[in-house]
Structure 1
Amino acid sequence: MRILAYSHRKDETIYFEEFMKKYKIEVVLCDDEPTMDNVNLAKGFQCISIITTEINSELIDKFHEIGVKFISTRTIGYDHIDIKKAKEIGIGVGNVTYSTNSVADYTIMMILMATRKMKAIIESSNVQDYSLKGVQGKELHNLTVGIIGTGKIGKMVIKHLSGFDTKMLAYDLYENEETKKYAEYVSLEKLFTSSDIITMHVPATNDNYHLINKKAIKLMKDGVFIINTARGSLINTDDLIEGIEEKKIGGAALDVIEHEGDIYYKDLKGQILANRELAILRSFPNVILTPHTAFYTDQAVSDMVEHSILSCILFMEGKENPWKVTI
């Protein structure tokens, strides 16, 4: 069996080599992302592996035309793929899972950095201002944390937070007993009105689009902290900026933002970025921005490569595939 892996990064090489031997398959590594200019590289491959490049209907049509039967994205999210088009023409699509500790650990770090005003502390220290002005933080045991989404990552965040003796509220369409040991399930409105910190761990779906918007922010406590290590589309960026400027929002820590696809994971030094909201957010002393790196650990990269390979194998063998997202 042969798989073509687009958008191969050097940090993935060791894992591709390891799992090619383990599963006795061939993976051809391509450093470039899939485009209409290089789509024909996939000719002769029934399975391809990608990362976060937009796979639109035109690309899907072309992949189908040259014989691709399955697209595996080495990410949990798959909103960059035109799933509707894939279903229409019969191309299978799969995602992957990876170590939940990667994003959960990062989320805790972001919560602590936001509530302890770490950006302001670091920036002041960098210009040799060692005064205490404007850097007084908060302690977690005095705060209520609202967790939106109690799937694998959300549950791990809750488990980690339990050691901080903080009160936790949770919201999810599907409640689970493990979460109830540490957090109280409440309505989304109750979570908005009662939380000092709100962290999101839900996928980018139509129902979750702009989950945090002007109306939701109005319900929140004054000085609320908003943490997002999930998907940028969960937050209406203009409304977030307005909430920060009006001092309704006390701080934000964002590993993801809207319209990040053409920016993150690229070296853009010296270039004008086509994302005005990013520039505004970067200017705030109480906003921490990181370039979608919450997932990025050695264990997670290994998992992403292995699960993408396994997903392709299971699809081709007609076996049950836990990562397949199309029916």
Structure 2
Amino acid sequence: MKVFVYSYREFDEAEWFTHFSKEYGIELGTSPDAPTLENASLAKGYEYISIITTKVDAMLVQRFHDLGVRMISTRTVGYDHIDLDKARELGMQVGNATYSPNCVADYTLMLMLMSLRKMKRIMQRAELNDFSLQGIQGRELPNLTVGVVGTGRIGRSVIRNLTGFGCRILAYDLYENEEAKACATYVNLDTLYAQSDLITLHMPLTNDNFHMINESSISQMKDQVVLINTARGGLIDTKALIENIESGKIGAAGLDVIENEFGMYYFDRKSDILDKRDLYILRGFPNVIVTPHMAFYTDQAISDMVKHSLESCLLVDQGKPNPWNVL
């Protein structure tokens, strides 16, 4: 069995690809570059490819199909970067990869605390030896109601982390979970929006929830609400977010993801002029923290992502049930 790996990183993934490919008897081909129409031919002779969060549009899906690729395995939980409609039309399989939920859950809690304690401004001032107090008074989690939207593995881990702070926890999900019920109260979205001081998002991006945080939903929220997003950028309407930060409706935001981030993150772009005006606006606010899609990035997660991506391909090759199959 052969798997071609795009966006192959020597400094953190290589040891795990070497380890697991030997364990499973998989022959690897690798490229440090993201998949494109120009380099798709590298995958000729490989029925399986492994990618990360780079755009694989309909034309690229078609190209891989024409080269004999049977399956696209993304080393990420999210798979909205792959044109599933085209893959379905061509009969290609698509799989994702799960990893330890603690990495994103821990990072989420960090963004919550940094946002509530105005840490961005504190750190900026400290660099200039400005140790004044005005404008940096924070809030305490035990006094707040936190709304967790999405109670999958990551959402439930966030809820478990929050229980140690003594805050009231509300939850929303289309499918309620008994584990989450032990620590949080399920409510409908309208109630969660209306009663939460802080709202954190933990679900995949779909056509149904695209821009679920928009002008209408924000208008239902408390004044000075704090928004945290470590899931997918498209869950939030960026225009509405910016307008409500400017108006003061939104008190703070911690964003590890933004809309239209494909092709930007995980590259050195410091000398480039980026066509990302919204990113520059968001980073300019003193009460907004923007990080470059790093919540997943731990040693355990990288090992899990590589292992599960290869296992997913192997299970398909063996005709066995594949828990990571999304198409």
Cα distance in 2 between the residues matched to 1:84 and 1:259: 20
Q: How does 1:158-307 map to 2 (within 5 A)?
A: 158-307=159-308
Deviation at 1:190, TM superposition (A): 0.4
In the alignment, which residue of structure 2 is the partner of 1:117? 118
Q: How does 1:72-83 map to 2 (within 5 A)?
A: 72-83=73-84
In the alignment, which residue of structure 1 is the partner of 2:18? 17
Deviation at 1:264, TM superposition (A): 1.3
In the alignment, which residue of structure 2 is the partner of 1:6? 6
SS at match of 2:320: coil
Deviation at 1:270, TM superposition (A): 2.1
RMSD of aligned residue pairs (Cα, Å): 0.7
Matched to 1:4, the amino acid is F
Matched to 2:7, the amino acid is S
Cα distance in 2 between the residues matched to 1:36 and 1:203: 27
Kindly, what percent of the aligned residue pairs are identical?
A: 58
SS at match of 1:169: strand
Deviation at 1:40, TM superposition (A): 0.8
Is 1:96 equivalent to 2:114 in the alignment? Answer: no
Q: TM-score, normalised by structure 1?
A: 0.99
Cα distance in 2 between the residues matched to 1:9 and 1:211: 34
Runs of 4+ in 1 over 3 A off after TM superposition: none
Cα distance in 1 between the residues matched to 2:90 and 2:30: 26
Cα distance in 1 between the residues matched to 2:235 and 2:213: 6
Deviations 1:247-299 (A, max 9, x none): 00000000000011121111111221101110100110000010000000000
- Greater Cα shift, 263-272 or 105-114: 263-272
Cα distance in 2 between the residues matched to 1:128 and 1:104: 33
- Greater Cα shift, 15-24 or 194-203: 15-24
Cα distance in 2 between the residues matched to 1:311 and 1:319: 10
Q: TM-score, normalised by structure 2?
A: 0.99
SS at match of 1:122: helix
Cα distance in 1 between the residues matched to 2:123 and 2:209: 34
Deviation at 1:176, TM superposition (A): 1.0
Deviation at 1:130, TM superposition (A): 0.7
Structure 2: runs of 5+ lacking an equivalent: none
- Greater Cα shift, 72-81 or 24-33: 24-33
Cα distance in 1 between the residues matched to 2:26 and 2:63: 25
Q: How many residues align?
A: 326
In the alignment, which residue of structure 2 is the partner of 1:156? 157
Matched to 2:141, the amino acid is L
In the alignment, which residue of structure 2 is the partner of 1:86? 87
Deviations 1:123-172 (A, max 9, x none): 01011101111111111000000000001100000001000000000000
